[in-house]
């Protein structure tokens, strides 16, 4: 798993494990959208610039995740993390 564990996130948000695992749906949705968006933008963008942006998104979301004490914000954070990961992952396989 990338980033903090579920127990760490439970402590930060002062909630139950069930509530914290529900926010992981955001990562799943992001992981579903990332490859489709890559396919839609294929050869229309500078791929290296897109990869750098994905890396920056990964760094920011990973660094701010421990301080996201509001569960919906954490879900959005997970969404961008999953999106950036699969956009980059699909792109590196393609190129």
The answer to whether position 78 is within a domain reads yes
The pTM of the full predicted model, rounded to 2 decimals, is 0.81
pLDDT value at residue 46: 81
The answer to whether position 1 is within a domain reads no
Average pLDDT over residues 5-33: 86
The answer to whether position 70 is within a domain reads yes
Nearest residue to 14 (alpha-carbon basis) of 79, 56, 74, 92: 74
Which residue range is the domain that position 20 belongs to?
6-94
Q: How many domains does the chain have?
A: 1
> Which residues are within 8 A (CB) of 28 and not within 5 positions of it... i.e. 6 or more apart?
82
The answer to whether position 72 is within a domain reads yes
Average pLDDT over residues 43-70: 84
Average pLDDT over residues 54-70: 86
Average pLDDT over residues 84-88: 87
Q: How far apart are CA 46 and CA 40, in angstroms?
A: 13
Q: How far apart are CA 23 and CA 42, in angstroms?
A: 30
């Amino acid at each position: 798993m990338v980033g903090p564990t579920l127990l760490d996130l439970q402590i930060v948000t002062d909630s139950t494990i069930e509530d914290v695992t529900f926010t992981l749906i955001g990562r799943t949705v992001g992981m579903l959208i990332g490859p489709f968006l890559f396919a839609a933008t294929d050869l229309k963008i500078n791929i290296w610039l897109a990869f750098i942006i994905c890396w920056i998104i990964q760094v920011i979301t990973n660094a701010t995740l421990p301080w996201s004490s509001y569960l919906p914000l954490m879900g959005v954070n997970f969404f961008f993390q999953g999106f950036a990961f699969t956009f980059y992952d699909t792109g590196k396989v393609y190129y």
